[in-house]
Structure 1
């Protein structure tokens, strides 16, 4: 049975969001029901008064000055969903859709959006029954909220568009029916509340964060293995060095690398009388580079955890005063900055990993056979996997241009500054995948390099990691079809199987810096 998460609006931990992304079931805290009901009643009272309030009895965006009569309010909310469902591109991955729905559920359940209880019941049921709307991945500029993608989500709730259910794509109406659910009729404010907000951008940014975290931890293991393969020194990981600088990520990364190598016979074999004075930066500066990446990832994680627990639609309903106040919480600038930070971090994780691969295949630097093959010349060994790693690193560099510095006016200049958080966040999963492939290649190269040091062994921790790979990929003697080896190694990185095999505690993004 999969894990079940009790969603407490405003108080969901990063670990719980991670579990939801990985497939955990979601149950909304029943304690949120009173706040939701009071919020819906406040909207009803505003409608009864008849005074114009944006999003409740007016048009939207540039059309905010158009007054909508009471008899047309349900049509108004249905129309905004249908007209704004204007996304393009491939459907979002279902794991990210699930996370987006959970984020929207938690936001609406805080009782500041005017949503009716029945609407939240349906949203929760869709999560529990695994009715996942088909949401095209392109079309949001990250303000005024992630309108297009969230409209596709809301469309499924009223029986429009498509959804996945039971592993099949079908009409949303059929998916709801097969799950024993019925579409809803949206009341005043509800359509706008569903499609306004940053949940699409935040879901993608969180998904990127979780994938990058896995690659980061795997890269600590492969970095230690590369240090062993090159018979590098663990002196640069001495805690006294890092305490003098004081950078928190640097300190914990050095601790992890030192623990990974503890007890290595390979390290002890060259501790004395080694003519080399210093290792290349890709080995020696791992704590500084990876530690800085960790600090940036943790900062992004803090921003995203706050955003995930906030309310980001507009207008916001305040039940204590009976007001609906227009503001700009839908502007996803914090998410855009966090996504840009993560893009830089994953670039550097892959970049320094590729430099270690290049170092290992160069006998002048590593002292190992050229391209890590016993018979260089007849065999090319790791020559082209290093080229592939270089190509992926450069691709990530091209994708890392900050999205947050871009803006383009929309809605007839009513929405004249936007965050571009959506595509800034969406690129992260592809960048993480590129970095995972690079680290997978490093895993192959580093283990191959260690093989040349037999019968000397590394630490028990790193030997366990080597054994995991060697259980699927044998030592490269003569050239063979290389692609399956790379697929197997990358899957160990991407799935977290590599880090699960080691007994050393590896730093992650949950801990505060």
Structure 2
């Protein structure tokens, strides 16, 4: 059961919601509902005695236009902003978006009506999915997808799956519902958690390659990393020591110094671990944050106009995570190059086993470099651009939405890179009949061996790569 109270939603809960097709077991806090209702009543009262953006005024450059606070004004806002375009948003992202938005509303500072909160909670609980389009945000509020969601709850727009009884839009509900980056946070959270899984799996993949190449253990030694104790680097080195059974002084490797793919792994993996940890911390704050502008404060009995819709924390954290993961992927491709080189393995070129001229796993390098190029494009910073919209009033954008989409693309590319390395590492270990008996990484070898074809004949490796990608989640838990 997922607790939804506006304070304690976890990134893991968002992943659970995205993966759950159908009803979702949620526990909606009664106290949070009461607090949200209190804020709704206060917002209505404030609208009778002061100007409140989006309730008694227009929005954007229309902020100085006085309007009547009514459900008609709210419906006009929702209809005009429900202009999303492009492909339909993936169902998992929609489910995650709805859970995040429900949790944010239960923080009790939006001033939204209890009926709309209740309808959204019912949609989340029953697994009903509105038809939401992918395009329509630049990191300053997911206006289009959230407007489409709100209109589905009112019965004006279609449902992609299931439905809930329509509810009316009350005065002030429109902007209160749209004033969030829930769709962007959903995609960012799913990508962050996937990157976390892939970086954990990459320890096992690198460890298998280390054994196949008879790596030098000095690069992971405790004294080395105590001398420059960055948190992620120290954690990576410790994990490699664990997987490789380095409890005491291990025997020397074949070389005095390994190539960077092995030797510099902690120094390159470390920044990625730190960046993903920071990204998860940022998202943990955001999915429990009150971002509605204006914010209705029952504690102070007033409304506050602000800029919590701006997501610079999210966009910059995503940019950093993608950039550091790209560097780690470069090392994976470098290790793959070492695995096909007889000088490092003592085996035939490309781990071939057929007649002279056999290609073995030669194609893996091409696939891995292709995927790495896609990852490189996805790693380009989204935060270097900006936008000036709404007649110059909104003169900056974070582009966190685009940064989150790039993170999704980075995940897809990185797992292909790791899959290629894993296929080659397992083949090399099989051909060498390496002794993994007393090493914890043996579990990773056995998990991968169970799904990878044992044939070393020249043949298509498409299914092998797919199987390797499919086992990464298990390797992350070893």
Scaled by the length of structure 1, the TM-score of the pair is 0.88
Q: CA deviation at 1:463?
A: 2.2
Q: CA deviation at 1:198?
A: 1.7
The aligned counterpart of 2:38 is 38
The aligned counterpart of 2:203 is 220
Q: How does 1:452-471 map to 2 (within 5 A)?
A: 452-454=431-433, 456-457=435-436, 459-471=438-450
Match of 1:86 among 83, 86, 98: 83
The aligned counterpart of 2:456 is 477
Measure, in 2, the Cα distance between the counterparts of 1:479 and 1:199: 48
SS in structure 2 opposite 1:317? strand
Match of 1:157 among 137, 142, 153: 153
Q: How does 1:364-375 map to 2 (within 5 A)?
A: 364-375=343-354
- Note the alpha carbon deviations across 1:249-277, whole angstroms, 9 max, x for none: 1111111111111179xx97xx35x6621
Q: Kindly indicate whether residue 55 of structure 2 is the aligned counterpart of residue 56 of structure 1.
A: yes
Q: CA deviation at 1:451?
A: 1.2
> 8 Å contact 1:261–1:458 — kept in the other structure?
no
Q: CA deviation at 1:459?
A: 4.2
Measure, in 2, the Cα distance between the counterparts of 1:459 and 1:440: 25
Match of 2:476 among 496, 499, 506: 499
Measure, in 1, the Cα distance between the counterparts of 2:470 and 2:254: 38
The aligned counterpart of 1:99 is 96
Measure, in 1, the Cα distance between the counterparts of 2:89 and 2:46: 36
> 8 Å contact 1:138–1:423 — kept in the other structure?
no
The aligned counterpart of 2:341 is 362
Measure, in 2, the Cα distance between the counterparts of 1:155 and 1:342: 35
Q: Kindly indicate whether residue 137 of structure 2 is the aligned counterpart of residue 140 of structure 1.
A: yes
Match of 1:191 among 174, 177, 191: 174
Q: CA deviation at 1:376?
A: 6.7
> 8 Å contact 2:215–2:255 — kept in the other structure?
no
Q: How does 1:438-449 map to 2 (within 5 A)?
A: 438-449=417-428
Measure, in 1, the Cα distance between the counterparts of 2:437 and 2:81: 58
Q: How does 1:75-474 map to 2 (within 5 A)?
A: 75-143=72-140, 145-165=141-161, 175-176=162-163, 181-262=164-245, 271=251, 276-375=255-354, 377-454=356-433, 456-457=435-436, 459-474=438-453
- Note the alpha carbon deviations across 1:291-341, whole angstroms, 9 max, x for none: 111011111111111111111121111223432221111111111111112
> 8 Å contact 2:214–2:254 — kept in the other structure?
no
Measure, in 2, the Cα distance between the counterparts of 1:491 and 1:8: 35
> 8 Å contact 1:230–1:368 — kept in the other structure?
no
Measure, in 1, the Cα distance between the counterparts of 2:287 and 2:234: 29
Runs of at least 5 residues in structure 2 that lack an aligned partner in the other structure = none
SS in structure 1 opposite 2:219? helix
How has the CA–CA distance of structure 1 residues 100 and 376 changed in structure 2, closer, same or farther, with 3 Å as cutoff?
farther
Aligned-residue CA RMSD (Å):
2.0
Measure, in 2, the Cα distance between the counterparts of 1:321 and 1:472: 60
Q: CA deviation at 1:439?
A: 0.6
Measure, in 1, the Cα distance between the counterparts of 2:299 and 2:204: 54
How has the CA–CA distance of structure 1 residues 302 and 455 changed in structure 2, closer, same or farther, with 3 Å as cutoff?
closer
SS in structure 2 opposite 1:417? coil
The aligned counterpart of 2:26 is 26
> 8 Å contact 1:13–1:305 — kept in the other structure?
yes
Measure, in 2, the Cα distance between the counterparts of 1:349 and 1:130: 37
Scaled by the length of structure 2, the TM-score of the pair is 0.94
SS in structure 1 opposite 2:289? coil
The farther-off stretch of 299-308 and 22-31 is 22-31
SS in structure 1 opposite 2:347? coil
Measure, in 2, the Cα distance between the counterparts of 1:22 and 1:235: 42
Alignment: residue pair count: 474
SS in structure 1 opposite 2:37? helix
SS in structure 2 opposite 1:461? coil
Runs of at least 5 residues in structure 1 that lack an aligned partner in the other structure = 166-174, 503-513
How has the CA–CA distance of structure 1 residues 160 and 427 changed in structure 2, closer, same or farther, with 3 Å as cutoff?
farther
